């Protein structure tokens, strides 16, 4: 479903991605891990076309991202942004239903609202939240609204950038289960970025670790605890000692 080959992306002297290869088969869940600033969010933004790569190819369902019709291309994706990226001036339900009320085949207001309330319920938020504004919510509630928006249009491909950061452990478990469910039930292809190893274990079919601009390690989730790669070991064990410096 997603095939990234030889992806390069730099910002001035900062060479963030230096030849990244990633493949995600249809219906699979890939989790991307790696230190802060290693380019995990940029990788997703390049796939979405929000950042322009310097070199490399990105194919989605066999189609070259650069040559495809932008609107049709983006319609396949749902994305939870790391910072939430909610529209401050819109109530929660309109944030969630944003895409459902636009373009061809758009829903009537009342229908869109009812889908939004249903998606909010799936992320553990009651109907009373629908008419609040993002500024009236806690950080974790905002995160869950972003998640509800990402899944609202039932896209084929969903990107989750740190879906459980800032959530309490119970809610993080609920969200992990939800992501797994979306992959299994909807047959969606998912790429999730997380620092949370319990999320990795709950969500991933395969895991890719970014380091120094490349995929340092890639493999099935059940090998994460036994693979000998020292960079992976340090990350998984959360150790200050190892090849990855603590000051970057
Ligand atoms: N628009 C931009 N302009 C300049 N530099 C950028 C821009 N966006 C990202 N970067 C740089 O690219 C690098 C990778 O950023 P990215 O957000 O992908 O990191 P990340 O792996 O997602 O980190 P974190 O785990 O902290 O979210 C960082 O060094 C960042 O400063
Ligand atoms: Mg990030």
Q: What SS3 class is residue 18? A: strand
The reply to whether 66 falls in a domain is no
Q: How far is CA 114 from the centre of its chain?
A: 25
Counting ligands in written order, the one closest to the CA of 213 is 1
Digits of tens for pLDDT over the chain (248 positions)?
A: 999 999 999 999 999 999 999 999 999 999 999 999 999 999 999 999 999 999 999 999 988 888 888 888 888 999 998 888 899 999 999 999 999 988 777 889 999 999 999 999 998 899 999 999 999 998 889 989 999 999 998 899 999 999 998 888 998 998 899 899 888 888 899 999 999 999 999 999 999 999 999 999 999 999 999 999 999 999 999 888 888 887 66
Ligand 1 atom at shortest distance from the alpha carbon of 195: 25
CATH classification of the domain holding 99: 3.40.50.300
The reply to whether 152 falls in a domain is yes
Question: Which residue range is the domain that position 99 belongs to?
Answer: 27-38+71-237
Predicted confidence at residue 104, as pLDDT, reads: 74
Contact 141, 129 (CB under 8 A): yes
Question: pTM of the full predicted structure?
Answer: 0.92
The reply to whether 11 falls in a domain is no
Q: Which residue puts its alpha carbon closest to atom 26 of ligand 1?
A: 36
Residue 83 in contact with ligand 1 by CB distance below 6 A: no
The reply to whether 183 falls in a domain is yes
The reply to whether 19 falls in a domain is no
Cβ atoms within 10 Å, residue 63? 14
Predicted confidence at residue 248, as pLDDT, reads: 64
Residue 38 in contact with ligand 1 by CB distance below 6 A: yes
Torsion angle of C-alpha atoms 155, 161, 165, 169, degrees rounded to 10: 40
The reply to whether 54 falls in a domain is no
Residue 194 in contact with ligand 1 by CB distance below 6 A: no
Counting ligands in written order, the one closest to the CA of 211 is 1
Rounded to whole angstroms, the Cα distance separating 38 from 137 reads 30
Counting ligands in written order, the one closest to the CA of 35 is 1
The reply to whether 123 falls in a domain is yes
How many domains does the structure of the chain reveal? 1
The reply to whether 6 falls in a domain is no
Rounded to whole angstroms, the Cα distance separating 170 from 53 reads 38
Q: 172-183 pLDDT, tens per residue?
A: 998 899 899 888
């Amino acid at each position: 479903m997603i095939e990234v080959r030889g992806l390069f992306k730099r910002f001035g002297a900062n060479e963030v991605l230096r030849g990244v290869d990633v493949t995600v088969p249809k219906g699979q869940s890939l989790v991307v891990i790696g230190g802060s600033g290693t380019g995990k969010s940029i990788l997703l933004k390049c796939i979405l076309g929000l950042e322009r790569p310097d070199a490399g190819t990105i194919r989605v369902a066999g189609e070259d991202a650069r040559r495809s019709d932008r609107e049709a291309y983006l319609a396949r994706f749902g994305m939870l942004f790391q910072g939430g990226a909610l529209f401050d001036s819109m109530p929660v339900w309109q944030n969630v239903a944003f895409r459902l009320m636009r373009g061809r085949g758009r829903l009537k207001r009342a229908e869109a609202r009812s889908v939004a309330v249903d998606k909010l319920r799936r992320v553990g938020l009651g109907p009373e939240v629908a008419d609040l504004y993002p500024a009236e919510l806690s950080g974790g509630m905002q995160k869950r609204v972003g998640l509800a928006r990402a899944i609202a249009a039932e896209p084929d491909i969903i990107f989750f950038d740190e879906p459980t950061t800032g959530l309490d452990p119970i809610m993080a478990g609920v969200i992990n289960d939800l992501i797994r469910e979306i992959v299994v039930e909807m047959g969606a292809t998912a790429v999730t970025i997380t620092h949370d190893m319990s999320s990795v274990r709950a969500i991933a079919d395969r895991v890719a670790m970014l380091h120094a601009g490349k995929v340092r390690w890639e493999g099935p989730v059940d090998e994460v605890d036994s693979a000998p790669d020292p960079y992976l070991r340090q990350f998984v064990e959360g150790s200050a000692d190892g090849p990855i410096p603590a000051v970057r």
